[in-house]
Amino acid sequence: MSPADGPPPAVAGEVADTVPGGGSSTVPGAVPGGGPDADAGPHTDGPAGGGTAETGRDAAEIAALLAFDPVPPDATLRYEVPVVDRGAGRPGDSIGPGAEPCPDHVVDLYGTRPGDGPPVRVVALHGGFWRAAYDRAHLSPAAAALAAAGLPVALVEYRRVGAGGGWPATGEDVRAALDALAAVGLVGPGGPDDQGFMLLGHSAGGHLALWAACRAIGPERGRSGPAAGPRGVVAVAPVADLADAVRTGLGDGAASALLGAGPGGTPDPALLADADPAAHPPPAVPVTLVHGTEDGQVPFDRSERWCARRPADRLVPLPDTGHYAPITPGTPAFARLLDTVRDLLGAGPGE
Helix (H, G, I), strand (E, B) or coil at 144: helix
The pLDDT mean for the chain works out to 81
The average pLDDT across 33-59 equals: 53
pLDDT value, residue 351: 54
Nearest C-alpha neighbor of 155 from the set 115, 94, 208: 208
Residue range 79-92: mean pLDDT, rounded: 58
pLDDT in tens, 198-218: 999 999 999 999 999 988 665
Q: How far apart are CA 327 and CA 215, in angstroms?
A: 25
Preceding peptide of 103 cis, ω within 30°: no
- Range with the lowest mean pLDDT among 243-247, 252-256, 260-264? 260-264
- Confidence bin at 223 (pLDDT 50/70/90): very low
pLDDT score of 29: 26
Q: What angle do the packed helices 140-148 and 332-345 form, to 10 degrees?
A: 60
CA 75 to centroid of chain Cα atoms: 17
Cα distances (Å, whole numbers) of residue 187 to 49, 141, 342: 30, 22, 17
Cβ atoms within 10 A of the Cβ of 150, count?
15
| β-sheet bridge partners, residue 18 | 24
- Summarised one tens digit per residue, pLDDT across range 259-314 is 999 777 899 999 999 999 999 999 889 999 999 999 999 999 999 999 999 999 99
Alpha helices (H) in the chain, listed in sequence order: 56-66, 140-148, 169-183, 204-211, 242-248, 250-258, 269-275, 300-309, 332-345
Q: Which backbone phi and psi does 11 adopt, to 5 degrees? A: -80, 140
| Burial letters 35-64, b for 16+ CB under 10 A, else e | bbbeebbbbbbbbbbbbbebeebbeebbee
Residue 34 pLDDT grade (very low, low, confident, very high; cuts 50, 70, 90): very low
pLDDT bucket at 51, cuts 50 / 70 / 90:
low
pLDDT reported for residue 83: 64
pLDDT-derived band at 220, boundaries 50, 70, 90 = very low
Of the candidates 274, 38, 37, 65, the residue with the CA atom closest to the CA atom of residue 168: 274
Taken in order 148, 47, 233, 336, the sign of the CA dihedral is: positive
Per-residue pLDDT, 229: 76
Q: What is the pLDDT of residue 55?
A: 78
Give the span between the Cα atoms of 245 and 302, in whole angstroms. Answer: 9
Torsion angle of the four alpha carbons 259, 265, 268, 274, in this order, in degrees rounded to the nearest 10? 40
Nearest to 296 by CA among 332, 323, 316: 323
Segment 220-244 shows an average pLDDT of: 77
Strand ranges, E, within the chain: 15-19, 23-26, 75-79, 106-110, 122-125, 153-156, 198-202, 232-236, 287-292, 314-318
Residue type, 68: F
State the pairing for strand pair 153-156/122-125.
Answer: parallel
Show Cβ contacts of residue 249 under 8 Å, excluding neighbours closer than 6 positions. 256
Report d(CA 2, CA 48) in Å as an integer. 12
Among 63-67, 81-85, 101-105, 275-279, where is mean pLDDT lowest? 81-85
Question: What SS3 state is found at 170?
Answer: helix
